[in-house]
Amino acid sequence: MGRGSDMHGQCLFIIVFFIHAVHVLPGCIAQSSDEQTLLAFKAAISGDPNGVLDSWVTTKGSMNATDSICRWRGVSCRSRQHPGRVTSLELMSSNLMGVISPSLANLSFLHTLNLSGNRLTGGIPSELGQLPCIRVISLGGNSLIGNIPVSLTNCARLTHLELPRNGLHGEIPANFSNCRELRVFNISANSLSGGIPASFGSLSKLEFLGLHRSNLTGGIPPSLGNMSSLLAFDASENSNLGGIIPDMLGRLTKLNFLRLAFSGLGGAIPVSLYNISSLIVLDLGNNDLSGMLPPDFGITLPRIQFLNLYNCRLQGSIPPSIGNATKLRRIQLQSNGLQGIVPPDIGRLKYLDKLNLQFNQLEDKWDKDWPLMAALGNCSRLFALSLSSNKFQGDMPASLVNLTFGIEKIFMNENRISGAIPPEIGKFRNLDVLALADNELKGTIPDTIGGLHRMTGLDVSGNNISGEIPPMLVANLSKLAFLDLSENDLEGSIPESFERMSSIAILDLSYNRFSGMLPKQVLSLSSLTLFLNLSHNTFSGPIPSEVGRLSSLGVLDLSNNRLSGEIPQALAGCQSMEYLFLQGNQLGGRIPQSLVSLKGLQHLDMAQNNLSGAIPDFFATFQYLRYLNLSYNRLDGPVPTTGVFNDTKDFFVGGNRVCGGVSELQLPKCPDRAGKGSHRSRTVLIVSVSVGSFVALVLIAGAIFVCVLKPMKQVMQSNETSPRPLLMEQHWKLSYAELHRATNGFSAANLISVGSFGSVYKGVVGSEEEEVAIKVLNPLQHGAERSFLAECEALRSVRHRNLVNVITACSTVDHNGNDFKALVYEFMPNRDLDKWLHPTIDDDDDESSSRVLTMSERLRIALDVAEALDYLHRHGQVPIVHCDLKPSNVLLDNDMVAHVGDFGLSRFVLGTNNNSIQYSSISAGIKGTVGYIPPEYGMGGEISMEGDIYSYGILLLEMFTAKRPTDDMFQGSRSIRSYVATAYPDRAMEIVDQAMLRLKEKDMFEKKIEGCIMSVLRVALQCTEDSPRARMLTGDVIRELISVRNTYDD
């Protein structure tokens, strides 16, 4: 009996064991499979600086719950039916580097894959399309390249596909319309091609469609109006999208967010859009649209908060019903053709914080007070008010002082506002910009403005203001960077308190009646770096030696005063001077030999003085000097014949006692002992387009404050009796018509390139038919308003032979009355370095496609770029970080001298704190171009000089291997750096550009050539170390490359 009982118990145990095994073993096997998949994913990760995957250690088949992969960081197992199976992998913003392993396709129960905000490279594995349960794929904010896999359209349960901010290309697969469950589709900020698939109209559950800045073309399909669940649609900044706005979009009755700005759209704005009562954001700005605001739009859009219809060619008036849209916060209707009065009903908008109506044809007349201004006093959150360039007429409204105390910006330029500036304006303690230029104001400047400690810009030029400058006007304005009091009736001397303006970069006191000695306190301001104009006053006496302290000043105009004495030797300290105007004074003596140090001069006018002695021949060596006027002085002796002296369109010497010169001057012959020029022929410099120089001149010419700084009237004028070159005569004043002619109507045949800031055209200007590049800007580019002071501080000292520079600017309106801003640069026929390193069949008309750069040329270019970086990093008043160094931003002049372009604010974000410049975090998005971005930027690190060094190192590797860092051979953990590092030093000669080696430029020993190449590659590898602290400094790079160049040239 006992034995039978034991047998029965043993049988029962075996049965239970097998039952348990049947249920447990498949789960263990499955979990083991998921573990292998995750470990394969980890193996493809080449960098994990935060140790996110440290917990991912093999369980070695253990069934202990504490060893479960479900406890690994970022891994979740939430399936009740299939316990222990991986259902989500979420490792967002973990700074992971490497590629996405195709093995993830083996996670058969995975429904969420979120790897966004890392530093992953390579392509999106097509195998992900095999995931049967996948619902969410989020891979945005990486450096992924390649096409969007068509296989993803097989994911029938997919609800979220988020791939923004990568380097993806190719077309959007049309078969995503098969993913009927899609709710979010976001591929913004990629480099795609093709159009928006019309089949997307069948995605009835889609709520968010993000196509922002994706290079799409082909227009907006009307079928998108069938997406009945759509809440947000963003196709903005696709500049070549084209077409019209389909009326069908008006059927999107749930739409909250519609943004189509900067997309090349045309035609009329569909009235149906104004009937989408759910709209919160309507942004159609900067398109070639037309239409009117419906009379009842404030009623039909009750939820609207952001109304951005700037530069849309709107006509008609602003309806009073706008006051019914009580949730409005931003109204941006600038640069249109709006007429009539601005309805005081706007005063009912209690949440309004920004009102921009500038550059329209709005009008209003008032006797005692302006109803609009009185109404705006009710808008307690208003911080920015822009009414410039309209037809408002009347005395300065008393109700201006009733605006909210928090007002920060007031723009009322170019109207017909009269009366005096009220002293009560001093109560606006947060005011940082006050622009009242080109009105009919009278009276004096109230000294209460001196209490506005946050002010960065003040412009009251072009009025009838009289009296003296209040002594305390600027005494406490330590942040003031821009001050324009020109073209008024001011008199007296300049207050001593001007010496306290520690941040001033632009100062214009011209065309007044100031007298006395030139103010030493102004000439001692080292912060003056862009522009100082004291011309057309009655200043007398000598030029103080303190002028030499303006070491970073670009433009100095002391013309048409009563200055006497000699030109001070100290002027030689102005090493950054580009434009110097001394004409129309009583200066005597010789032209100082010390001016030989002003090698960056482009324009020098000393006409109508009493200068004597010989003409210094060192002017002939100034390679940038393109205008020299010495006429009507007492100069004698021979005239040099080289450099600027060889061009009678740019050099004027009439009214002196000189001889010789080129025959076109028709001067008398010199005696036999006349000097013979032995200088080199003048190099015709052709300078290319730079986004960084572009921003600096925009600061000067008008886009700093949009319309704060008017075109600088007669700043570049010389005396009326002297001939003058066309470009300088029109400096700051080139008309739209002239640029329209120069580019054949901005024709496609003249189009050079299209960028985020505008389009660049090739043109011919002036009677001398000078070739130029003309960049037509989008001054109202969508984005956060940049700090004027930060821009000014960052760019004010950017002047160097290896940085591109600008000629002139145009700030006006086009034939349709729309705001028009352009920059004019000299044109570079040798184009950019990228075209030389990677010629294409499309370049068969260019030298860069028919010959290979020699090693000596590459060394010189590398050294030029290093010196440009060294200047930006170390020799300006503040460090400038380029943030996008690559071959296409290195431009070559006629002598193959390299000029770095596209530096500064296009990819550099600055903040100010106690007048210091700080690099802001780039966590909102990687700054730069895929392949050249330093690894720390992808980790949310700050922009740094070391980041530029990394990009420079990649550029060096590309120059000497002729391989792009984004070539297909560089996939996964293999990069251009690892490719070179693996071969260095034993096989280095195998991976350098063989076409360069075949040139046999010099009769040199092979070992010597190899030694030079090894040195260059060593520099490149040191510059591209993962640790920023381990990278070389620019000074060390320059010393190394100079040594290599000298060795190679010996």
pLDDT score for 518: 93
3-state secondary structure of 106: helix
Residue 909 has pLDDT above 70, yes or no: no
pLDDT-based confidence at residue 1026 (cuts at 50, 70, 90): confident
In this structure, what token pair is assigned to residue 205? 């559950």
Q: Residue 746 — left, alpha, or beta (φ > 0 → left; ψ -120 to 50 → alpha)?
A: left
Amino acid at 166: N
Pairing verdict, β 433-435 and 457-459: parallel
Residue 675 has pLDDT above 80, yes or no: no
Residue 11 has pLDDT above 60, yes or no: no
Residue 879 has pLDDT above 90, yes or no: no
Render pLDDT for 685-739 as a digit per residue (tens, 0 to 9).
333 333 344 334 433 344 333 333 343 333 333 333 333 333 333 333 467 778 8
With a pLDDT cut of 90, the percent of the chain lying above it is: 53
pLDDT-based confidence at residue 22 (cuts at 50, 70, 90): very low
Q: What integer is the mean pLDDT of 796-815?
A: 67
Render pLDDT for 921-940 as a digit per residue (tens, 0 to 9).
333 344 567 888 888 876 66
What contacts 842, CB < 8 A, 6 or more positions away? Answer: none
Residue 226 has pLDDT above 90, yes or no: yes
DSSP secondary structure letters along 416-446: EEEEE--GGGGG-TT--EEE--SSEEES---
pLDDT-based confidence at residue 852 (cuts at 50, 70, 90): confident
Task: Reply yes or no on whether 54 is catalytic.
Answer: no
In this structure, what token pair is assigned to residue 743? 């580019």
Q: What integer is the mean pLDDT of 735-759?
A: 75
- Hey, what domains does the chain have and what are their CATH numbers? 2-193 (3.80.10.10), 686-827 (3.30.200.20), 845-1050 (1.10.510.10)
In this structure, what token pair is assigned to residue 504? 């001033």
Residue 331 has pLDDT above 50, yes or no: yes
Rounded CA separation 923/925 (Å):
5
Render pLDDT for 502-561 as a digit per residue (tens, 0 to 9).
889 899 999 999 999 999 989 989 889 889 999 999 999 999 999 999 988 989 999 999
pLDDT-based confidence at residue 245 (cuts at 50, 70, 90): very high
Pick 311 or 912 by higher pLDDT: 311
Rounded CA separation 548/550 (Å):
5
**Mean model confidence pLDDT for the chain:** 82
Q: What integer is the mean pLDDT of 591-616?
A: 92
pLDDT score for 707: 34
pLDDT score for 884: 83
pLDDT score for 872: 83
CB 924 within 8 A of CB 933: no
Residue 297 has pLDDT above 90, yes or no: yes
Render pLDDT for 643-655 as a digit per residue (tens, 0 to 9).
999 887 889 998 8
Amino acid at 1050: D
Residue 854 has pLDDT above 80, yes or no: yes
pLDDT-based confidence at residue 404 (cuts at 50, 70, 90): confident
Residue 346 has pLDDT above 50, yes or no: yes
Q: What integer is the mean pLDDT of 985-1007?
A: 79
Amino acid at 862: A
Packing angle between helix 976-983 and helix 1006-1023, nearest 10 degrees?
140
pLDDT-based confidence at residue 743 (cuts at 50, 70, 90): confident
Render pLDDT for 132-185 as a digit per residue (tens, 0 to 9).
999 999 999 998 999 999 999 999 999 999 999 998 999 999 999 999 999 999
Q: What integer is the mean pLDDT of 70-86?
A: 88
Tokens 């071969």 locate to 983
Residue 849 has pLDDT above 60, yes or no: no
Pick 562 or 900 by higher pLDDT: 562
Q: What integer is the mean pLDDT of 285-293?
A: 94
The neighbour count for residue 673, using CB atoms within 10 Å, is 6
Residue 406 has pLDDT above 80, yes or no: yes
Rounded CA separation 968/979 (Å):
13
pLDDT score for 629: 93
Render pLDDT for 442-497 as a digit per residue (tens, 0 to 9).
999 999 999 999 999 999 999 999 999 998 888 888 889 899 999 999 999 999 88
CB 627 within 8 A of CB 602: yes
Name the catalytic one among 34, 364, 884, 993.
884
DSSP secondary structure letters along 250-315: GG-TT--EEE--SS--EEEPPGGGGG-TT-SEEE--SSEEEEE--TTHHHH-TT--EEE-TTS-EE
What contacts 1043, CB < 8 A, 6 or more positions away? Answer: 1015
Render pLDDT for 830-840 as a digit per residue (tens, 0 to 9).
888 988 998 86
Pick 369 or 59 by higher pLDDT: 369
Residue 570 has pLDDT above 80, yes or no: yes
Nearest to 213 by CA among 192, 230, 197, 198: 192
Amino acid at 28: C
3-state secondary structure of 468: coil
1012: enclosing H helix or E strand: helix 1006-1023
DSSP secondary structure letters along 348-395: G-TT--EEE--SSEEEEE-SS--HHHHHHTT-TT--EEE--SSEEEEE
pLDDT score for 66: 43
Residue 673 has pLDDT above 70, yes or no: no
